[in-house]
Structures are given as structure tokens and as C-alpha cells.
Amino acid sequence: MSQAEILAQLVDTTAQLPGWRVLRQAVEQQRTVHLAVMVEPYLSYVLEGKKSIESRFSKRAIAPFRQIGADDLVLLKLAGGPVVGCFTTSTVEFVNLNTRELERLRTDYSDAICADQDFWEARADKRYATLVGVSDARELRPAPVAKSDRRGWLVMQTTQPVDTGDQLMLAPAAGRLGLWPWAPPAGLPAGLALPGRQDGGAAG
């Protein structure tokens, strides 16, 4: 399924579930919506407020690198399972990695990422990093999603990749316009956003 089809399915299947209005509001407000696949214990750390930064590392410049901004909605999918939570992005930092930059991230963000030495050693060969500030993390009633590929991150609603230059972005994601490539569910406005690129990355 495409990103737009996955989003349409989620909007439809969660319409009556408590707490899921956060998704419909994001769609109505034309905010960018992401789907992040996570493993335990990191998923629980986010929902418990222990993990204040979600990070993604990759060898290629793939999502969410330069495709995410402040005030985006990130849905949290358990690897191999349903969507069980969400958060709003507060800040975003994009980093072109080298040995010095990786060490800076380890020194500055290990506690916020909940990362140990093994975590950093496993990312020594990565070239790109995205650090996403977590705010308003909340659990949601579990909702299945028809995603069968191995991508770790989907940009399901956006207009275009965010490109802020070299490193840091603290800008809100307001004013993004576009068109849905499918008919939106009843009650949602037309004229929303195109799906993003089909990419993924190493979670952290």
C-alpha cells in the first residue's frame, strides 16, 4: 500500500476509537503525518516520557532526514504490530555524520535518546542522522495498519521534503499545502497533502 492509502485506512479504522481524534485533527489542519516503526524498550520509553529524543541513522539521506519539521505528528507503530501511540515533534536536527559529529551526538544526547555504548557502536558506519524532539507523547488504542515492507519510517502526508541546509531546524511545519491523491474520508477537507518518499532508517 502507498503512504496515502495507509493513512486513509488509519483515518477510517480509528474514527470511533477514543483518543484517535488527534490524527483526524492533524489531517484537517494539514500537518505533516509520519509513521515510525519502533522496537521495545524504546517505544515504551517514548510513551513513558523517559525518551525525549527519537533518532534515526542511515547510510543514505532517506526519511525522515530533511523530511520532518516541528509540530509534525508522528504515529508510533510497534515492529510487527499495531500503531499504539503518537507524539508531536518539538525540534529537529539533521546531521551529516563523521567521527567528530557522532561523538558530539553521543556526548550530548545519549541520555535523551536512551542510548548505550552498543547503540553508538552499531551506528559508527552511518552517514546521516535525524534527531527529533518528542512532545505530547500519548498512548493510543492499538490500531492495525497494512504495512508489510521493512521501511522504518513513512512520511504519509506532506507537500515536499523539508530542506533546511546543513544542520539545524527549529521551524514550525505551518503553511504546507498540497493535494491528496485519493478521495479523503467523509468529513475531511479536500486539498490536503501528497504522500512523502518511500524510505526508512535505523531507529533509535
- pTM comes to 0.81
Condensed to tens digits (0 to 9), the pLDDT of residues 87-98 reads 999 999 999 999
DSSP 170-200: --B-TT-----SSPPPTTSPSS--B------
In this structure, whether the domain defined by 3-203 belongs to CATH 3.40.50.10490 is answered with no
Residue segments in the chain with a per-residue pLDDT below the cut of 70:
159-201
33-38 and 73-78 strand pairing: parallel
Determine phi and psi for 104, rounding to 5 degrees: -60, -45
Condensed to tens digits (0 to 9), the pLDDT of residues 100-144 reads 999 999 999 999 999 999 999 999 999 999 999 999 999 999 999
